[in-house]
Amino acid sequence: MTTTAPARRVYLRGVRGALGWRVADRLADVPGIDLTVASGDEPVAGRFDVVVEVGIADHDVLGQRGESVTVGTEGLLGDARYVGADHLVVVSSAMVYGALANNPIPLTEEAVLRPDPTFVYARQLAGAEAEVEAWRAERTGRRVAMLRPAIPIAEEGTSSLARALTAGSGQVFGEASAPTQFVHHDDVASAVALAVERELDGVYNVAPDGSIPGDRVRALSGRRLRVPLPGRLADVVGALRWRFQRGPIPPGLRSYTRAPWIVANDKLRAEGWEPTVTNEQAYVEGTEAKWWTMITPKRRQELALAAMVGAIVAALATTGWFARRWWRRRPR
């Protein structure tokens, strides 16, 4: 008599954005699991074998809700204990490695985490990973699949953080631009599904093969001309340009457009995962909108105010010039 193993119960939490729903669609096709999808706002009833978290690294949703990665992690671990799960699959970010000039290319999963100290989001993600690891150590038999994707991007659902990174990539003034990686949402979703299906345990980078050189990113963006500038002037111009493109993104993010943080995907590939979208394909699909369409309403107001002030100053200067000219030519 053949017996069928009971389906593993999987709780997918943090589903509020585009990536989360792609993960939900992919998990729905995994055989042998009973899937429950929720935002994570309310406690879920019942027992679950696996908890999948896709929300703590969603920068936009965290910002809209006024939440932090730290608070989200507390909720995740609280739910994991409540439902009795022994396997966590967490979508983090390769940003935890930090972007530094002396980073090896590519970074493997064993690399030391050195997130930019001025970028709270990346620092909190590194802290969240440590908290999840502590959860694993609480009880023998627990497993954690920690996924660290490169810049997640797609035609619909690209986050403001990813848009800021794509806008800044390949645009460094006065020096060679760092290479960049972009991973499609579909490939991140397939990595999550694989981690659940194969009950993966450990840290896994998620990225296509290789990277895009800075010059190639610039060509894809349509900005082929780059005027060399002296070091200090290049920094000033770059900082101004970054400010008007990035919107309400923390300043610590800029380092991730200036130094490499390319990751290796060999470990995940060895488990049977394969990327279906290249770096270039993901970049082109996710960046069709021009930079001015990505400016937030607040930034548009700032630019409009600056333009109005500039127009007033120009009008006053012109009026003053004509007044002085008339005064000098008046009959005496």
Ordered per-residue pLDDT tens for the chain, 332 residues? 455 668 899 999 988 888 899 999 999 999 999 999 987 677 677 899 999 999 998 888 787 788 899 999 999 999 999 999 999 999 999 999 999 999 999 999 999 999 999 999 999 999 999 999 999 999 999 999 999 999 898 877 667 777 777 666 545 444 457 888 999 999 999 999 999 999 999 999 999 999 988 777 767 665 544 545 445 544 544 555 545 554 545 667 878 888 899 999 999 999 999 999 998 888 888 776 444 444 555 555 666 666 677 677 777 777 777 777 766 766 66
Is residue 111 within 8 Å of 104, Cβ to Cβ?
yes
Per-position DSSP letters for 204-262, written without gaps between them = EEE--SS-B-HHHHHHHHT--------HHHHHHHHHHHHHHHH-S--GGGGGGGTS---
Where b means 16+ CB within 10 Å and e means fewer, 115-147 reads: bbeebebbbbbbbbbeebeebbeeeeeebbbbb
* Helix %, strand %, coil % of the chain (to 5): 45, 15, 40
Determine the Cα–Cα distance for residues 243 and 181; give it in Å rounded to an integer: 22
